[in-house]
Amino acid sequence: MFQFMTATRIIFGEGALNNSFSIFNNYGYSALVVTGRDDQRADSLLAYLSQQNIRYQRLAVHDEPLIAMVEEMAAAGRLFKPDMVIAIGGGSVMDVGKALSALIPNQGSVYDYVEVVGRALPLTAKPLPCIAIPTTAGTGSEVTRNAVMISAQENVKAAIRSPDLIPDVAIIDPTLTYGADKSLSARCGMDAFTHLMEAYVCGEPNPLTDMICEEGLRRLAPAIIHACEDDDPKARADMAFASMLGGMAQSNAKLGAAHGLAAALGAVLDAPHGAITAQLAPYVMAENILAAREAGRISLLNRYRQLACILTGRMNAEPSDGIVWVQRILRRLDLETLPQLGLCDTMFEEVAVSALRSSSIKGNPLPLSESRLIHILQQVCQFSNLEESSDPV
Ligand SMILES: [Fe+2]
């Protein structure tokens, strides 16, 4: 048995936003609009709301959201009493929008509803209608049921998670991702890759998420370089589509150790989520393949083999070829390494312990001990430092 949930309505394509404005009229007369900092991509939407006499209040999300910041925004939102929440921006913006849509009509604080560091209570009141509009191709948050934020007190990332958190409408317009700089596009794209990869090999896939992951990886593999380096419209569209599929996959299957470790690292490093998952992905793949060999998990090794075939386009690929593909893409995209982002060996134990508490790690295809997680972090640092020292000066 399995179930599958996603946004009620998905509108996808070039120009989708400007062609879908009338949808906002279906949801009432006032909107809380969550955006990134100084995001001009929201201008046409705000002009439409004004023209239609839809009252709005704009809230800007500057960085990865802290629980305290979401708490303040929820208080402001409750005073404003919106009929709907519109979130236009990257993953953090959409996550905050989804969290606010749930928190505004419900009593209590963020800690009442957040997992891991809070009480994880079920939502009693239905969230406000939420329309999510991604401007990056990475998180797939427009179709997921979780809203991730950072607990500064416990130094960990945690989420509010509920099927009711899935946006009512996802408007995915690849033109909104045009012109994004290479490093932002690269880390978002590699986060989308990590969602598809982890959901494909996770402990609880289902036939629909398998199909979605395979198509997402097929689209992403040839597109990621062209999207990031050339701003190629077809590649941008494929990345936006793959990102959405990654969101569907992670929301209906599970993730794994890359996201488990990223949840812990995201709270201690001042670094974007995608930059962290990108660097962890090949080493988590390697550790899982090693553990699968030791445990004789043939079916899991076959999954990694199939993953490698899709990524490389070669029918005779071996599981390790998938790792090589990821490392090659990472070198080409020239993303910052985790040591450059502040990871050092004194953090390993704390990060591994914290990762074991994360919800993502429970989806890893096989259980990884604290020492195996530390081994992953050691490998990440060792090979990153080797690459740096071998760079031509
Ligand atoms: Fe992610």
Same domain, 124 and 260: no
With vertex at residue 124, the alpha carbon angle to CA 119 and CA 129, rounded to the nearest 5 degrees, is: 115
Cα 107 to ligand 1 centre (Å): 29
Cα 361 to ligand 1 centre (Å): 12
Parent domain of 80: 9-176
CATH number at residue 373: 1.20.1090.10
* Nearest-angstrom CA–CA distance, 366 and 369: 10
Same domain, 185 and 166: no
Q: Which of 143, 176, 209 is the last residue of a domain?
A: 176
Cα 271 to ligand 1 centre (Å): 13
Asked if residue 3 belongs to a domain, the reply is no
Cα 192 to ligand 1 centre (Å): 7
DSSP secondary structure letters along 173-221? -GGGGTT--HHHHHHHHHHHHHHHHHHHHSSS--HHHHHHHHHHHHHHH
Same domain, 282 and 345: yes
CATH number at residue 150: 3.40.50.1970
Same domain, 258 and 347: yes
What is the structure's pLDDT at 387? 64
Cα 217 to ligand 1 centre (Å): 15
Cα 333 to ligand 1 centre (Å): 18
Cα 119 to ligand 1 centre (Å): 23
Same domain, 104 and 237: no
Cα 274 to ligand 1 centre (Å): 6
Cα 90 to ligand 1 centre (Å): 12
Cα 191 to ligand 1 centre (Å): 5
Cα 189 to ligand 1 centre (Å): 10
- pLDDT band for 38, please (50, 70, 90 cuts): confident
DSSP secondary structure letters along 229-256? II--HHHHHHHHHHHHHHHHHHHHS---
Q: Which of 176, 193, 209 is the last residue of a domain?
A: 176
Same domain, 165 and 185: no
84-89 and 146-151 beta bridge pairing: unpaired
State pLDDT tens for residues 229-260: 999 999 999 999 999 999 999 999 999 999 99
Cα 276 to ligand 1 centre (Å): 9
Cα 250 to ligand 1 centre (Å): 9
Q: Which of 176, 196, 217 is the last residue of a domain?
A: 176
What is the percent of the chain where pLDDT is above 70? 98
State pLDDT tens for residues 151-167: 888 777 889 999 999 99
State pLDDT tens for residues 109-167: 999 999 988 999 999 999 999 999 999 999 999 999 999 998 888 777 889 999 999 99
Cα 312 to ligand 1 centre (Å): 22
Same domain, 195 and 125: no
Which is nearest to 106 in space by CA: 134, 71, 131?
Answer: 71
Residues linked to residue 88 through DSSP beta bridges, in sequence order: 35, 133
Counted domains in the chain: 2
Asked if residue 1 belongs to a domain, the reply is no
State pLDDT tens for residues 277-296: 999 999 999 999 999 999 99
Cα 188 to ligand 1 centre (Å): 8
